[in-house]
Chain A
């Protein structure tokens, strides 16, 4: 188990976003979190990378155990994420955006950076190479020097994935990576997610609404509804789970 979530509860005043949720993520798997709107999926992801602090429950990542953590700690531990609404630096180029993903890996101090020659230059070259490998991996060479704001939506999503990958994370959290994409873009994105998982061995937790995508690429699925976990299992089980079908289609009261 790379990640274990135990009895996590999160409330905003009277709104109980997560109630007593427990699940685990195995090393190297693709784990999907699904559920109807307002089920608490994004809240869960925000708990995992330390944006929200749950009132109750424990999270164990690798050998460390937390009741809560801050997002910079999460990043340092090797948890990277993408956002539902793209959160890139719009005025910066694709390359620069990806380089920011390597921020935590840069070791040179302010003075060395200012002088630049020597260690800082060597370091920058190493980081640039890593960024270029990601650019090559995601096939975005043609927009390397284009400001992100000028790119179409599907490509921006890819760049965001690139920035998360630049941190060389152990755990990658993807918040609706295929939202708003057309079929072809979705297929591309699926391929990239699978390739990341396969080639870098990165463990992936993703939120997604497209059931076809979820069932195709994830190893196991957690289903949330109104802040509670209602199902957990491999895609086949989830597809035929009564509670899940009810949650999505509604039941007569």
Chain B
């Protein structure tokens, strides 16, 4: 088979079975031992399974749901479905039964794969409302022995039946497939509206996967740990599309709780983690470091200092003095190497993070100990890869330039528009939404606002609907400012205002733990949050943070005018119970603005004090009145030109 015709997942699989049949394709830890499927074994399994599915009536174009954690059998099932021209629809395995109703009805799912009893129970529960669902295949038979439902069939049974059949029909079906066939459907989370099924073709998944793999020089020797939900497109790209393109090995963890251990055992060379995972890892390291002996703590402090000074520069290939190189070399032996080993990142060549803004300190920590962590930008609709930071051009606050083959531009409203071969075909049975998202010229409207920085990197600042303008027309991106503030450990929440006003101002919530520790170290007695929040020392501390943000902003001409001129520290912590935060702890800016209107007015006046009297609701349900004078402080701002000196 010529490489040029390898335009679908199944064709690629058969190609690997020939070209590198004995190399590992997928691994899973079972009964404490890593079990390997070679590409040959993988292909055999897929063909047998496809034979069984064909006999069970799976035809071109029908949708099959998959509810499972990362398992070799899940990926085999996905590919078997694709062999016959069917469309795999992976669903989130931790979704409750109710959340599965819509996708199954919407996509007219006829067959479903379920990992175990838990998932089978969910599907059976909603069966009466999903009349199209005719068959449920289950992998792990535990607890299912006494289930009498005729829809149930075990994976083993399907496989055994399929391997006895003549599989030439499978080969014919594989040959019939083409790059423009639908390869998969991914449901968006749908927190605000009904979920949408994002339809991707083989070409739109494999194209970007191939481009990115070439850019990072991924090959058959690479290894990845598949630990994020298979229903998320990223997992599909990293542990399916890119593996199929390059022939690298996918490793499935033993259980969700064992990911850390599995990671150390496998030592992946290619890695993806959202910022919150990286943060959890760093917290674990810090906690364990605090418990270490004093010699180790001293070493860690000393050498992490060296690392944060020169580690990133070394990784970027920038010039570093011979003395620093020596110290870094020493630190690598004593601290960074062992640390990377504990994190399971000794062999990571390419690591990505994406999904939300990452704190610069967090990002630099990983880079400073020699892990090539980079940012990327993408979404379900774009098959992930839109922007990737190339080696040597890695920064904490951008997502990198466009990947080859991707066109980017910003609308007048600063919305990022994308045109590329990786764009989804449509939202399933939702032409209205498709038209809104993808215009006539094929530009996809991301809903994200941003701009190109001086180096041509894309900088995402906020959702378009939240971005406003100062009175002078400068871009005002509240979330961008708030994130910058929140990256300081002393600041827990921030709420920035400035839309249609002459300058930006902020409400600050201090972090009672971090500031509490800080106060204790300085022998500063305090009674509680409100007391801490009103201290002049604390105001000074917060002012420094705000001014550093301002200095940062001065370096970005597009938004330099949205520096924060005045701020106050709120007398109470923002609470979801009081409606100030959403349940996922996002600030509800509009509501807060209304609720604390007198404070907001004072911020935009010349007063340095504002009286507040408010109803507070205690945790036990009682209410009381609180009244105090809040201080308002000015923060120094920087002229855009003076940026370099100030920073």
C-beta contact mask, B478-522 vs A, less than 8 Å → 1, else 0? Answer: 000000000000000000000000000000000000000000000
Apart from A132-B31, A132-B32, A133-B31: 11 A-B pairs, beta carbons within 8 A? A132-B33, A135-B32, A139-B255, A141-B29, A141-B32, A141-B257, A142-B258, A142-B261, A144-B32, A195-B143, A198-B143
B293 to chain A, nearest CB (A): 20
A182 contacts chain B at the CB level, 8 A cutoff:
no
A238 to B42, CA, bound (A): 55
Contact A199 B32 (CB under 8 A): no
Listed in ascending order, the chain A residues whose CB lies under 8 Å from chain B are 128-129, 132-133, 135-137, 139, 141-142, 144, 191, 195, 198-199
Identify which of residues 570-620 in chain B touch chain A, using a CB-to-CB cut-off of 8 Å: none
* Contact of A141 with B254 at beta-carbon distance under 8 Å, contacts A132-B31, A133-B31 already known: yes
Say which residue of B142, B145, B258 sits within 8 Å of A141 (CB atoms): B258
Chain A residue at minimal CB-CB distance from B33: A132
Which of chain B's residues have a CB closer than 8 A to the CB of A137?
142
Which of chain A's residues have a CB closer than 8 A to the CB of B143?
191, 195, 198-199
Contact A142 B255 (CB under 8 A): yes
Identify which of residues 236-271 in chain B touch chain A, using a CB-to-CB cut-off of 8 Å: 254-255, 257-258, 261
A251 to B131, CA, bound (A): 56
A70 to chain B, nearest CB (A): 34
Which of chain A's residues have a CB closer than 8 A to the CB of B145?
198-199
A129 to B35, CA, bound (A): 14
Contact A199 B258 (CB under 8 A): no
Chain A residue at minimal CB-CB distance from B140: A136
C-beta contact mask, B23-48 vs A, less than 8 Å → 1, else 0? Answer: 00000011111000000000000000
A136 to B32, CA, bound (A): 9
B146 contacts chain A at the CB level, 8 A cutoff:
yes
B396 to chain A, nearest CB (A): 32
A140 to chain B, nearest CB (A): 9
Say which residue of B30, B33, B146, B255 sits within 8 Å of A198 (CB atoms): B146
Which of chain A's residues have a CB closer than 8 A to the CB of B261?
142
A57 to B255, CA, bound (A): 49
Chain A residue at minimal CB-CB distance from B255: A141
Which of chain A's residues have a CB closer than 8 A to the CB of B255?
139, 141-142
Contact A142 B32 (CB under 8 A): no
Chain A residue at minimal CB-CB distance from B30: A136
24 chain-A/chain-B pairs, Cβ below 8 angstroms = A132-B31, A132-B32, A132-B33, A133-B31, A135-B31, A136-B30, A136-B31, A137-B142, A139-B255, A141-B29, A141-B32, A141-B254, A141-B255, A141-B257, A141-B258, A142-B254, A142-B255, A142-B257, A142-B258, A195-B142, A198-B143, A198-B146, A199-B143, A199-B145
Which of chain A's residues have a CB closer than 8 A to the CB of B146?
198
Listed in ascending order, the chain B residues whose CB lies under 8 Å from chain A are 29-33, 142-143, 145-146, 254-255, 257-258, 261
A128 to B33, CA, bound (A): 11
A199 to B31, CA, bound (A): 18
A126 to chain B, nearest CB (A): 12
A136 to B30, CA, bound (A): 8
B143 to chain A, nearest CB (A): 6
Which of chain B's residues have a CB closer than 8 A to the CB of A191?
143
Chain A residue at minimal CB-CB distance from B254: A141
Please list the 5 inter-chain residue pairs (A to B) with the smallest Cβ-Cβ separation, ordered nearest first.
A142-B257, A132-B31, A132-B32, A142-B258, A141-B255
A137 to B258, CA, bound (A): 15
A135 to B254, CA, bound (A): 11
Which of chain B's residues have a CB closer than 8 A to the CB of A132?
31-33
A165 to chain B, nearest CB (A): 14
Which of chain A's residues have a CB closer than 8 A to the CB of B30?
136
B156 to chain A, nearest CB (A): 16
Which of chain B's residues have a CB closer than 8 A to the CB of A141?
29, 32, 254-255, 257-258
Which of chain B's residues have a CB closer than 8 A to the CB of A198?
143, 145-146
A191 to B30, CA, bound (A): 22
A199 to B140, CA, bound (A): 13
A253 to B145, CA, bound (A): 51
A137 to B32, CA, bound (A): 12
Chain A residue at minimal CB-CB distance from B260: A142
A141 to chain B, nearest CB (A): 5
A139 to B32, CA, bound (A): 12
Which of chain B's residues have a CB closer than 8 A to the CB of A129?
31
A139 to B142, CA, bound (A): 12
B254 to chain A, nearest CB (A): 5
Chain A residue at minimal CB-CB distance from B257: A142
A159 to chain B, nearest CB (A): 15
A133 to B261, CA, bound (A): 19
Chain B residue at minimal CB-CB distance from A145: B261
Which of chain B's residues have a CB closer than 8 A to the CB of A142?
254-255, 257-258, 261
Chain B residue at minimal CB-CB distance from A142: B257
B306 to chain A, nearest CB (A): 33
A130 to B254, CA, bound (A): 17
Which of chain A's residues have a CB closer than 8 A to the CB of B29?
141
